[in-house]
Every structure is written in structure tokens, then in C-alpha cells.
Structure 1
Amino acid sequence: MLSRIALRSVLARQSASTALVARTSATDVSGARDEVNFPRPVRGEPGKVRLGFIPEEWFQFFHSKTGVTGPYTFGVGLITYLFSKEIYVMEHEYYTGLSIFLIVYYGTKKMGPQVAAWLDKEVDSVEKSWNEGRLQTVKALEDAIANEKDSQWRAQGQELLIEAKKENVLLQLEAAYRERLMNAYQEVKRRLDYQLEKAALERRISQKNMVDWIVANVTKAITPDQEKQTLDRCIADLGALAARK
């Protein structure tokens, strides 16, 4: 009993690992399915049959060995053998089954195409709904990817806008810095001009006071006789100059 349980657990682990490897190999690194090496399964269509239920492969198997009549001969011979040896006894259930078979055969021939068409239509409808759901999911994912890329693009635009705002702030700081430098320059120049004008004014006042003091002292030092002599000398010089001309 324990060995059976251990064997089942080992088989379950092997099947799980096999399924994991298959899923991993069916998808690439990005998660997309490899449609070339691992195509999606397609719903199979039923094969061709004869007599309503016998597959065509059965007749093809006999055709290569016994010809065209081989399958029919084998079927009739097998039924005859079963009946003759009473392996299959024809009791009342046999006739009931034969009647049911005839009814089913007639219903299949009479209503089979309509029922088959209706069933095929329903199957196609269900498959279409499944495919629509898958396509809608793919479309939604593609739209989500496009929206994400658009959001990333917008985020990059925000980064550019932030850089532009930083540049504007730096320009404003530079303008304020230069304005303050100009204000400092003007204030220093105004103070220096004031000191220069003050020094020039003081020098002019000193010169004027000095000239007035010298003139006053010189005027005080000249006597009336010296002034008269100087005046006479000047008149003589002017007369000499007039005679020369």
C-alpha cells in the first residue's frame, strides 16, 4: 500500500514537472506564446463514416487487404457466426434493440442533417464567443500597453517641464543676482562720487580762502607811496608801448 502511494506521488511530481517544462518552452522570455513551434489547438472535425456509425478508416484498413467487399463480408460473417453459435441470442431485447436501431437510423437519416447543422452552428457560436473573449482580452491588454506607453511619454514630458522650470528659476536667480550687483555698484559709485565731490569742494574752498588771505595780506602790505609809484610806472610803460606803435 505504501509503495503504491509513493509511486503515485512520484508520477504526480513527474507530470507536474513535465507540464511546467511544456509551459515554459511554449512561452518566450517576454511571456508571449510561441505560435510557430507551439500553435494553438484547433477543434477537430469528426471523420467520415459509413452506415451512420462505422469510421471510414475501418473500410480503408480492409480495402488494402481484402478489397472493397472485405469489410462488409467480415461484418456479415461475424454476425452470422454470432447468431449461428448462439453467442448472441435473439431474444425479445434483441428485437427491441433492432427496433430502436431502425428508429434511430431513420431519425438520423431524416433529421440528422438538420440536427448536425444546428449543433455545428451552436458549436461555432460557442467557439466564436470564446474567441471573442480572448480577442477582447488581447485588445484590452494592448490598450493597457498603449496607455502605459502614453503615460510614460507624459511622464517624460513632465520631466522636461520640471527641467524647464528649474532653468527658469536659475535664470530668475541669475537676474536677481545681477540686479543686486548693479545696485551695489551704483551705491558704491554714488558714495565714491560724493567723496570725490566733497574733496573737490573742500579743495576749492581752501584755495579760495588761501587766495583771499594772500590778496588781503598783500593789499595790507602795500603803502600809498608804493601804490603811487607802481601806478606811475604802469602809466609810463603804457606810454612807451604806445610810442612804439
Structure 2
Amino acid sequence: MLSRIALRSVAGRQSATTALVARGSATDAVGERDEKNFPRPVRGEPGKVRLGFVPEEWFQFFHSKTGVTGPYTFGVGLATYLCSKEIYVMEHEYYTGLSIFVMVYYATTRFGPKIAQWLDKEVDAVENNWNEGRVENVKFLEQSIEEEKAAQWRAQGQELLIEAKKENVLLQLEAAYRERLMSAYTEVKRRLDYQLEKSNMERRIAQKHMVEWIVANVMKAITPDQEKQTLDRCIADLSALAAKK
């Protein structure tokens, strides 16, 4: 029984080592395990036994050749042969061992199931603890993947925000360009209006001075006699117009 457990533990370690070696090939490009071609190792369970220590395979081996009673007949016959030929001598150590065997058998049948249940619970607790750690690690990695996807989504949003800011800067530059263009237009128009007003003012001043100069020269050219004659003629014309009315 103990030898079978030792062999199975060694085989389990070898399979675990093989799984660790093949870990690189058991995972694909994205890091996910190929559960179909590389299944996860399962904790081995001891096989069935009879009489507390005899493997079930031995009985199956005899059952195909001698029937159901074959293993028991073989065991009793072998023990009888050893004892009758004094190959196995029944000295005082034999009875001591027999007493110990009876006590062990009693303890096994009395306390064995409870101890087995307790040990199974402890093994299940350790296995559940290992699985819990693995599940929590998987959840943590999945959460990290989701956070990474969210970070990528935020990064894409930042790209859109940067594009919007660039567009806003271009609009501000366009507004500043139009404002400066309007300012240049206003300044040029104001200066042209100033030049026009200046030209009009110079023309009016020149016209005024010309009129005053002509009037002054005409007034200088008129003598007092001509002025008196003109005044008399005007009075006569007015009198004639009054008489006609």
C-alpha cells in the first residue's frame, strides 16, 4: 500500500515536472492554456484495497483465473505452507506482532474512517486553497485586462480630445486672422476717408478763397459813379415793376 502511494507520488511529481517543461507548448500565442491537448493535472486518488492493505488489482488478477475464492485460497494456503514448513517460525515476536496487528486492525476499523474523513477534509481544504489562489489570480488578471482595455479606450478618447483641441486652436487662429484683417481694413478705410476729407476741405477752402478774391477784385473795379448809376437803374426798374402791378 505504502509502496503504491510512493510510486504514485513519484509519478505525480514526474507528471508535474513534465507539465512544467511543456508549459511553453501548452500555451498558445495569447497566453491561454490548451485544455484539450494539455489538460491540467488532477490529484491522484489511491485505488481500492481489500482487508485494509491488499490491492484490488491482486484480486482481479486471481479472479480471471481462479474465481472469487482464488485470492483467499492462495493466501491461506501460502500461510499454511510457510507455517507447516517452519519457514515462518512462530516465536514470541510472532504473538507480539499478532497482538499489535489486532490492535492496529481495531484502531483502523474503529478510528480509521474518522481519521480518513478528517484527512480528506484537510486535503480538500489545501486543494481548495490552491484553487482559490489560482481563481483569484485569474480574476485579478482578467480585471487587469479589463482595466487595460479601459485605459486603451481612455487613450483613444484622449486622441479625440487632442484632435478637438487642434481644431479649436485652428478656429482661434482663423478668428485672430479675420480680426486682424478687419482691423487692417478699418485702418486703411479710416486713412482713405481722412485723405478724402482732406481733399474736400482743401477744395472748399480753395473755392472760398477764389470767390472772395473774385468778389474783392470786382468790388475794387466798380467806381462810385458806376455804383450810383447801377443803384439808380435798379430803383427805376423796381418803380416800373411796381407801376405795372
Is the structural similarity TM-score above 0.5? yes
Q: In the alignment, residue 32 of structure 2 is paired with which amino acid?
A: A
CA distance in 2, matches of 1:156, 1:172: 24
Q: Report the counterpart of residue 155 of structure 1 in structure 2.
A: 155
CA distance in 2, matches of 1:178, 1:128: 73
Q: Report the counterpart of residue 4 of structure 1 in structure 2.
A: none
Is the counterpart of residue 80 in structure 1 residue 80 in structure 2? yes
Q: Report the counterpart of residue 196 of structure 1 in structure 2.
A: 196
How far is 1:234 from its partner? 11
Is the counterpart of residue 35 in structure 1 residue 35 in structure 2? yes
Q: In the alignment, residue 166 of structure 1 is paired with which amino acid?
A: K
CA distance in 1, matches of 2:78, 2:179: 116
Q: In the alignment, residue 112 of structure 2 is paired with which amino acid?
A: G
Q: Report the counterpart of residue 9 of structure 2 in structure 1.
A: none
Q: Figure out how many residues of one structure are paired with residues of the other and give that number.
A: 226
Q: Report the counterpart of residue 131 of structure 2 in structure 1.
A: 131
Q: 1:172 to 1:162 in 2, by over 3 A?
A: same
How far is 1:233 from its partner? 9.4
How far is 1:30 from its partner? 1.3
Work out the percentage of aligned pairs sharing the same amino acid: 75
Q: Report the counterpart of residue 89 of structure 1 in structure 2.
A: 89
How far is 1:97 from its partner? 2.1
How far is 1:227 from its partner? 8.2
How far is 1:101 from its partner? 1.6
Deviations 1:221-243 (A, max 9, x none): 4554598479859977x979x98
Alignment of 1:106-125 (within 5 A): 106-125=106-125
Q: In the alignment, residue 89 of structure 2 is paired with which amino acid?
A: V
Q: 1:232 to 1:67 in 2, by over 3 A?
A: same
Q: In the alignment, residue 141 of structure 2 is paired with which amino acid?
A: L
CA distance in 2, matches of 1:43, 1:170: 68
Deviations 1:159-194 (A, max 9, x none): 333333333333333323322222222122111111
Q: In the alignment, residue 55 of structure 1 is paired with which amino acid?
A: P
CA distance in 2, matches of 1:173, 1:231: 81
Q: In the alignment, residue 136 of structure 2 is paired with which amino acid?
A: Q
SS in structure 1 opposite 2:22?
A: helix
Q: Give unpaired runs (5+ residues) of structure 2.
A: 1-17
SS in structure 2 opposite 1:162?
A: helix
Deviations 1:23-58 (A, max 9, x none): 222111112211222121122222222111112222
How far is 1:114 from its partner? 1.0
Q: Report the counterpart of residue 12 of structure 2 in structure 1.
A: none
CA distance in 2, matches of 1:116, 1:231: 161
Q: Report the counterpart of residue 184 of structure 2 in structure 1.
A: 184
CA distance in 2, matches of 1:34, 1:19: 12
Give me the CA root mean square deviation: 3.0
Deviations 1:189-238 (A, max 9, x none): 111111110001101111222222233334444554598479859977x9
Q: Report the counterpart of residue 66 of structure 2 in structure 1.
A: 66
Q: In the alignment, residue 117 of structure 1 is paired with which amino acid?
A: Q
CA distance in 1, matches of 2:123, 2:228: 148
Q: 1:23 to 1:234 in 2, by over 3 A?
A: farther
Q: Report the counterpart of residue 57 of structure 1 in structure 2.
A: 57
SS in structure 2 opposite 1:28?
A: coil
Deviations 1:89-129 (A, max 9, x none): 32333222222222111111111111111111111111111
Alignment of 1:191-230 (within 5 A): 191-222=191-222, 224-225=225-226, 228=229
CA distance in 1, matches of 2:87, 2:236: 187
Q: In the alignment, residue 170 of structure 2 is paired with which amino acid?
A: L
